[in-house]
Amino acid sequence: MADLVRNYIGGRWVAPIARDTLTVTDPSSGEELARLPLSGPSDVGAAVAAAASAFPAWRGTPAVERARVLFRLKALLEEHKEELAVSLTGEHGKVIAETRGEIQRGIENVEHACGIPSLMLGDTLEDVASGIDCASWRQPLGVFGIITPYNFPVMIPMWFWPYAVATGNTVVLKPSEQDPLTHQRIVALAEEAGLPPGVLNVVHGGRAVVESVCDHPDIVGVSFVGSSRVAAMVYARAAASGKRVQALGGAKNHIIVMPDADMEAAADACAASAFGSSGQRCLAGSVFSGVGDAYAPFRDRLMDVASSMRLGNGLDPETDMGPVISAAHRDRVRSFIDVGAAGPGRLLLDGRAASVEGRDGGYWVGPTVFEDVPPDSPLGTEEVFGPVVTLSKATTVEDAIERVRRSRYGNACSIFTTSGRTAREFRHGSGVAMMGVNVGVAAPMAFFPFGGSKESFYGDLKAQGRDAVSFFTEQRVVISRW
């Protein structure tokens, strides 16, 4: 029988109190990799107790010393980068170039958090009134809960916990139940780097763990990333028990292509955006509008790229696209294609029957392209989270921007153009928080805020960057007269 994934509580790898388990599989073969415990409230309680008891000493550790632990972790992550990327491809399925990129983005957040002594500086002002001075300090708050999705199981936890611990807090992390293994190795590296017991704790499971994290009275704040339905629930439930919350949700990302764009570069970037990671990215383009004369050449080039993509195991250098995460998710993506194929609209490329020789148990869906589906149909409005795109022609850029504005999601959007004026109009009018200009995946780096608008984000302070430092600290002010 495959190994049981362990929780990490108070610096020890422990079996959960709960007995139920799920299976973690290699999505390119369907083979079992591990069994994951469905922990419960008692496991969360033990992790919170460990985190709460580690907090006073960790908070009292000078910021420069906390940063040194992260410097050592960064060196260890660099040293083990390839091993981590191979492991991540094995449990997620995306191609090795993408997992290397994911690990790199995670490391960049550790790098940024290494600057915490500067990032955490407060402000002072002498003589706010005669003989009175004022100073503000950024202070940590206690135990934070962090809940993350399956699609970036290494990078997304690292949008949060390096900042949480750098600022002097302690953490209870609940990773995705679908691909938790590579991050376990990162926790072991954090321990090797000198992170004291109890500062970072991991509890595996599903809904019961999430609900316990939202409700636990000794957790002061929650960072969540996942689908909008769960993000909205976590935002409301954790806030109801007085916590600060940042909850990043789902997406339906629009991309506009103008007639003045470099068409080949635009179509190639759009195909990479739509089909990279088999469409399982919150920044993946999924609704494409070609404005006027841009439409036909853009569609033709995108079709060429999409129809020549090779599916396979992500460790094979010949592979362009891996599987989706699970049989259930494959079936969900296929059902979206079934609905779209019934029309109106045309199915130009159908990935439903995709297969890979020798890997019959894998969860395959090939690139799928629709043309002219109604904007208000499920394919036009709902997040598919698979390699499925819709193409349509817009008469003007204003019409295309209006379509972006009508979406209930607002995670990312992009425009391809050589006109600064058009790009400016797009930036001014899209109403979306992460925008690309001649970039297909508008991913902010570690020192910028990451998070969307509308139903793609519930909260105020985003992930990464200065927002992360603000989220994990409170500004406290002292006014002094001597």
29 neighbors 357 (Cβ within 8 angstroms): no
176 lies in the binding site for ligand NAD (CB under 6 A): yes
457 neighbors 248 (Cβ within 8 angstroms): yes
206 lies in the binding site for ligand NAD (CB under 6 A): yes
207 lies in the binding site for ligand NAD (CB under 6 A): yes
DSSP for 127-159, please give it: EEETTEEEEEEEEE-SEEEEE--SSSTTTTGGG
Cα separation, 235 vs 222, in Å, equals 8
Q: Is-cis flag, bond preceding 344, omega within 30?
A: yes
For ligand NAD, give the closer residue by CB, 337 or 433.
433
Considering only 170, 456, 470, 473, the residue that binds ligand NAD (CB under 6 A) is 456
151 lies in the binding site for ligand NAD (CB under 6 A): yes
For ligand NAD, give the closer residue by CB, 350 or 382.
382
For ligand NAD, give the closer residue by CB, 211 or 372.
211
452 lies in the binding site for ligand NAD (CB under 6 A): yes
CA angle 385, 390, 395 (to 5 degrees): 140
Sole window of 59-67, 160-168, 206-214, 440-448 interacting with ligand NAD (rule: CB under 6 A): 206-214
Cβ of residue 137: shortest distance to ligand NAD, in angstroms? Answer: 30
The helix/strand/coil state of 28 is coil
Catalytic entry in 114, 214, 270, 282: 282
Cα separation, 202 vs 183, in Å, equals 10
Cβ of residue 284: shortest distance to ligand NAD, in angstroms? Answer: 8
Distances (CA, A) of 50 to 176, 209, 262, 364: 21, 16, 56, 42
Cβ of residue 271: shortest distance to ligand NAD, in angstroms? Answer: 19
Cα separation, 13 vs 174, in Å, equals 15
Residue 370, token pair as written in the block? 């629709």
Cα separation, 475 vs 106, in Å, equals 27
Sole window of 223-231, 309-317, 361-369, 415-423 interacting with ligand NAD (rule: CB under 6 A): 223-231
Query: Residue with CB nearest ligand NAD?
Result: 226
For ligand NAD, give the closer residue by CB, 329 or 403.
329
282 lies in the binding site for ligand NAD (CB under 6 A): yes
Element (H, E) at 97: helix 96-113
Task: Give bridge partners of residue 478 from the DSSP assignment.
Answer: 135
For ligand NAD, give the closer residue by CB, 383 or 467.
383
Sole window of 3-11, 171-179, 257-265, 347-355 interacting with ligand NAD (rule: CB under 6 A): 171-179
5 neighbors 170 (Cβ within 8 angstroms): no
Element (H, E) at 416: strand 412-416
Strand positions, DSSP E, 293-395: 346-349, 368-371, 388-394
248 lies in the binding site for ligand NAD (CB under 6 A): yes
Cβ of residue 79: shortest distance to ligand NAD, in angstroms? Answer: 27
386 lies in the binding site for ligand NAD (CB under 6 A): no
Sole window of 33-41, 70-78, 146-154, 436-444 interacting with ligand NAD (rule: CB under 6 A): 146-154
278 lies in the binding site for ligand NAD (CB under 6 A): no
- The residue whose two tokens read 């000794």 is 218
What order do you get walking across the sheet with 434-437 strand by strand?
346-349, 368-371, 388-394, 285-291, 253-257, 412-416, 434-437
147 lies in the binding site for ligand NAD (CB under 6 A): yes
Considering only 91, 98, 320, 383, the residue that binds ligand NAD (CB under 6 A) is 383
Site size for ligand NAD, by CB under 6 A? 27
Question: Using a CB cutoff of 8 Å and minimum separation of 24, what contacts does 444-453 make?
Answer: 445/108, 446/105, 446/108, 446/109, 446/111, 446/112, 447/112, 450/159, 450/248, 451/246, 451/248, 452/248, 452/249, 452/251, 452/282, 452/409, 452/410, 452/411, 452/412, 453/410, 453/411
Sole window of 6-14, 98-106, 161-169, 225-233 interacting with ligand NAD (rule: CB under 6 A): 225-233
Give yes or no: 282 in active site: yes
For ligand NAD, give the closer residue by CB, 6 or 80.
6
Cβ of residue 378: shortest distance to ligand NAD, in angstroms? Answer: 15
Residue numbers of the site for ligand NAD (CB under 6 A)? 147-152, 156, 174, 176-177, 206-207, 210, 225-227, 230, 248-251, 282, 383, 385, 411, 452, 456
Active-site positions read 282
